[in-house]
């Protein structure tokens, strides 16, 4: 079984080829088996003897400090693969219906991109060293770009894709530098913290900071948050799978995988926690400002990823992974039920035009309610347990940050309540017709809703998840159900949720200010392009100037070279 786990990344490739060749009555149906098998393989491994396996092909890239083709199938990878398989299976089935209005070639292309994404993501979590990690890392970035820009004929999709690509490029560059700066023989993700591998100028702090930058870019943390809300221009199933459940969590995964390195660099760990807390609060506040349904959810994802970063920074990688697992389920649920609404209203995403859909879309209503309550942390649901674990860790590591995070749960309740009551309650703003969703759109919500309710019980009370993960996600504290801190955090969230319901009744169609995103990115881009234009203008095409420039260039270089 362990051998199969190592090759799990290849499981969606047959689907990719078959879909590309046009096999299957419905475009994309040939791809369905891939994620299903992936889920089965991962779960079977977790339920079985759990023997870790490794594949190591040395000297694959001899110019790197560690250029082996190195895969490692262990418990952490299996848990991530199980999450990936579970959410992507739901999203695949959902997409069959959601994308049914596309021309067949477009549907096939969509599923091929999806297959490529799942394969890249699987490589990312199975990577044993930085070099292989980078393949998956860049692969998911590319898949994300392709899928955000899927509807090229709609305004803004290409720009949004390029924004994602630019943010990813920052992270890729940091990872690249990390790959080449470690001493020879280093690069294995588990041994980066050994003294031999820290023998570089800067040591643990530099390596850990580079990985933090890479993770922050992938997970839209801190100043690199800007691309994720824009990424909502892509199809909604993509927002659920890539930009909520799996890819954006890759940064968290990386930090958990290398948690021993982070522990060797305490200042970077504190910075990680602070970055996470700041993003959790900032994302929550920003979500309250959004006029667009999906963007509101996107900022919620930014905020929840901040919780996970905070967890890693607090020295509790297990809590972060636990929240990653529960979040994958309830946030995918929220996005897919939002997709049902958007699909029923012919692509309408503006909150001002949505409202009172409770009776017309009861399935989406129930699913969104379950997802919201899991998100705010209603005691007993999955989000409550995992957020509790993070807050608990924070209480012991850094009380100030933990208290800020505690206050953040109120924001969580407020913003998700605003979306929930705004879309499903109150009066209908217009009498536009509503398409009733096909069963294929609703069925995938069921397993996700079950997950949103019960995923927390993977850990409490029996500690199944932490015993399965063992030491791969650091030393796990037993999660307490309803510690006072966590319990009150949950109540605070529910209070915020209820408050926005009460407020929402009074001001149903209040106009909302649209947040300005990515101000600094736009400014940097404008400056950069201005400089580029001026530089390109030097190339006037006049031979005399060219000749003069060449002669002076040679002379200057000669003088500099001889002086040195």
Partner 1 sequence: MSVPPALLSVAILVVGAMVILTLTSRLTRDSTALGTIGMLTLVVAALPSVAGDPLSQIALFSILGAAAIAMLLVPSAELHVTTQRPEVAALVLLGSAGAVVLATAGDLLSAALGLETLSLSAAVLIGLGRGERPLEAAFKYFVLSAITFAALIYGLGLIFLATGSFAWPSLAQVEAAYHWVLLAGVMLFGLGVSYELAVVPLHWGALDVYTAGAPALAGYVMAASKVAAVLALGRLVVGAGAPPPAVLIGIGLLSIVWGTLGALAQRELRRMLAYSAVANAGFLALALGCGAEGRAAAVFYVEIYALTALLVFAALAGRGPGPLGLADVPSEEWGATRALGLALGLLSLAGIPPAPGFWAKLAVLAAAWHAAGWGPTVVAAVGGVAGVLYYLRPLPDVFAAVRADGGGPGPRFPAPAVLLAGAAVVFLGLVPGLAYAIARLAIG
Which residues of this protein are in contact with partner 1, per CB under 8 A? 59-65, 67, 105-106, 109, 134-135, 138-139, 142, 145, 149, 152-153, 158, 161-162, 165-166, 169-170, 172-173, 176-177, 179-181, 201, 528-529, 531-533, 535-536, 539, 541, 543, 546-547, 549-554, 557-558, 560-562, 564
Q: How far is the CB of 159 from partner 1 (least distance, A)?
A: 11
* Look-up of token digits 């590591």: 397
Nearest to 264 by CA among 199, 217, 216: 199
Q: Toward partner 1, which CB reaches closer, 179 or 310?
A: 179
Q: How far is the CB of 87 from partner 1 (least distance, A)?
A: 25
Q: Toward partner 1, which CB reaches closer, 108 or 257?
A: 108
The DSSP annotation for 354-365 comes to ----TTT-HHHH
Q: How far is the CB of 372 from partner 1 (least distance, A)?
A: 35
Q: How far is the CB of 95 from partner 1 (least distance, A)?
A: 19
Q: How far is the CB of 247 from partner 1 (least distance, A)?
A: 16
Asked if 327 and 249 touch (Cβ cutoff 8 Å), the reply is: yes
d(C-alpha 111, C-alpha 275), whole Å: 35
Q: Toward partner 1, which CB reaches closer, 40 or 181?
A: 181
Q: Toward partner 1, which CB reaches closer, 33 or 170?
A: 170
d(C-alpha 162, C-alpha 415), whole Å: 28
Q: Toward partner 1, which CB reaches closer, 102 or 459?
A: 102
Q: Any idea what the Cα angle at residue 493 is, between residues 490 and 494, rounded to 5°?
A: 90
Q: Toward partner 1, which CB reaches closer, 112 or 321?
A: 112
Q: How far is the CB of 528 from partner 1 (least distance, A)?
A: 7
Q: Toward partner 1, which CB reaches closer, 431 or 537?
A: 537
CB atoms within 10 A of CB 142: 17
Q: Toward partner 1, which CB reaches closer, 63 or 520?
A: 63
Q: How far apart are the first and last CA of the chain?
A: 61
Q: Toward partner 1, which CB reaches closer, 109 or 243?
A: 109
Q: How far is the CB of 466 from partner 1 (least distance, A)?
A: 34
Q: How far is the CB of 150 from partner 1 (least distance, A)?
A: 9
Q: Toward partner 1, which CB reaches closer, 502 or 552?
A: 552
Residue 31 DSSP code = G
**Structure-token pair, residue 257:** 């995988």
b/e sequence 500-532, b meaning 16+ C-beta within 10 Å: bbeebeeebeeebeebebbeebeeeeeeeeeee
Q: Toward partner 1, which CB reaches closer, 187 or 456?
A: 187
Q: How far is the CB of 231 from partner 1 (least distance, A)?
A: 15
Q: Toward partner 1, which CB reaches closer, 105 or 509?
A: 105
d(C-alpha 264, C-alpha 197), whole Å: 12
CB atoms within 10 A of CB 255: 29
Distance of alpha carbon 169 from the chain centroid: 16
Q: How far is the CB of 314 from partner 1 (least distance, A)?
A: 30
The DSSP annotation for 188-257 comes to BTTSTTSGGGG-STTHHHHHHHHHHHHHHHHTT-GGGGTHHHHGGGS-HHHHHIIIIISGGGHHHHHHHH
d(C-alpha 523, C-alpha 520), whole Å: 5
Asked if 390 and 486 touch (Cβ cutoff 8 Å), the reply is: no
Q: Toward partner 1, which CB reaches closer, 175 or 245?
A: 175
b/e sequence 154-176, b meaning 16+ C-beta within 10 Å: eeebbebbbbbbbbbebbbebbb
Q: How far is the CB of 217 from partner 1 (least distance, A)?
A: 11
- 3-class DSSP state for residue 150? coil
Q: How far is the CB of 320 from partner 1 (least distance, A)?
A: 27
CA distances from 223 to 244, 262, 414 (A): 18, 21, 23
Q: Any idea what the Cα angle at residue 166 is, between residues 164 and 167, rounded to 5°?
A: 65
d(C-alpha 406, C-alpha 455), whole Å: 22
Q: How far is the CB of 138 from partner 1 (least distance, A)?
A: 5
Nearest to 437 by CA among 372, 365, 351, 369: 365
Asked if 164 and 148 touch (Cβ cutoff 8 Å), the reply is: yes
CA distances from 158 to 151, 298, 301 (A): 8, 18, 22
Q: Toward partner 1, which CB reaches closer, 35 or 65?
A: 65
Q: How far is the CB of 347 from partner 1 (least distance, A)?
A: 20
Asked if 200 and 159 touch (Cβ cutoff 8 Å), the reply is: no
């Amino acid at each position: 079984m362990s051998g199969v786990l190592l090759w799990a990344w290849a499981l969606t490739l047959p689907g990719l080829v078959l879909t590309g060749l046009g096999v299957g009555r419905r475009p994309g149906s040939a791809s369905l088996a891939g994620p299903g098998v992936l889920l089965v393989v991962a779960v079977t491994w977790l339920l079985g003897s759990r023997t870790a396996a490794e594949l190591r092909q040395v000297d694959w890239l001899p110019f790197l400090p560690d250029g082996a083709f190195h895969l490692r199938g262990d418990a952490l990878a299996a848990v991530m693969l199980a999450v990936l398989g579970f959410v992507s299976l739901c999203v695949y089935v959902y997409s069959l219906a959601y994308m049914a209005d596309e021309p067949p070639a477009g549907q096939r292309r969509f599923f091929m991109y999806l297959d490529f994404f799942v394969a890249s993501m699987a490589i990312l979590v199975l990577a044993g060293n930085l070099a292989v990690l980078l393949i998956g890392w860049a692969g998911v970035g590319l898949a994300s770009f392709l899928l955000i820009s899927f509807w090229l004929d709609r305004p803004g999709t290409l720009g949004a894709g390029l924004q994602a690509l630019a943010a990813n490029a920052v992270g890729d560059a940091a990872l690249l530098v990390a790959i080449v700066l470690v001493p020879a023989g280093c690069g294995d993700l588990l041994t980066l913290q050994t003294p031999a591998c820290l023998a570089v100028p800067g040591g643990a702090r530099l390596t850990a900071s580079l990985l933090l930058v890479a993770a922050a870019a992938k997970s839209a943390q801190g100043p690199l948050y800007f691309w994720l809300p824009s990424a909502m221009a892509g199809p909604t199933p993509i927002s659920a799978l890539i930009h909520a459940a799996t890819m954006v969590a890759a940064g968290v995964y990386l930090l958990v995988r290398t948690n021993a390195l982070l522990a060797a660099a305490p200042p970077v760990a504190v910075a990680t926690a602070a970055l996470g807390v700041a993003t959790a609060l900032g994302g929550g506040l920003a979500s309250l400002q959004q006029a667009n349904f999906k963007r509101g959810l996107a900022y919620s994802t930014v905020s929840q990823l901040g919780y996970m970063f905070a967890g890693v920074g607090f020295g509790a990688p297990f809590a972060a992974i636990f929240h990653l697992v529960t979040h994958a389920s309830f946030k995918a649920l929220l996005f897919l039920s939002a997709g049902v609404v958007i699909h029923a209203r012919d692509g309408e995403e503006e909150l001002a035009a949505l409202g009172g859909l409770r009776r017309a879309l009861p399935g989406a209503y129930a699913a969104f309610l379950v997802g919201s309550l899991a998100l705010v942390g209603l005691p007993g649901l999955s989000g409550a347990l995992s957020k509790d674990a993070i807050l608990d860790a924070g209480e012991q590591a850094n009380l100030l940050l933990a208290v800020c995070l505690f206050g953040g749960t109120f924001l969580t309740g407020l913003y998700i309540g605003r979306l929930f009551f705004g879309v499903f309650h109150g009066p209908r703003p217009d009498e536009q017709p509503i398409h009733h969703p096909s069963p294929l759109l609703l069925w995938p919500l069921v397993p996700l809703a079950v997950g949103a309710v019960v995923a927390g019980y993977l850990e409490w009370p029996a500690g199944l998840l932490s015993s399965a993960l063992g030491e791969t996600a650091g030393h796990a504290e037993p999660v307490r159900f309803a510690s006072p801190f966590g319990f009150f955090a949950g109540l605070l969230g529910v209070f915020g949720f209820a408050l926005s319901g009460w407020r929402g009744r009074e001001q149903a169609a209040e106009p909302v200010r649209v947040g300005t995103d990515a101000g600094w990115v736009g400014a940097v881009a404008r400056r950069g392009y201005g400089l580029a234009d001026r530089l390109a203008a030097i190339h006037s095409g006049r031979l005399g100037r060219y000749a003069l420039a060449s002669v002076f260039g040679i002379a200057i270089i000669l003088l500099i070279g001889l002086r040195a």
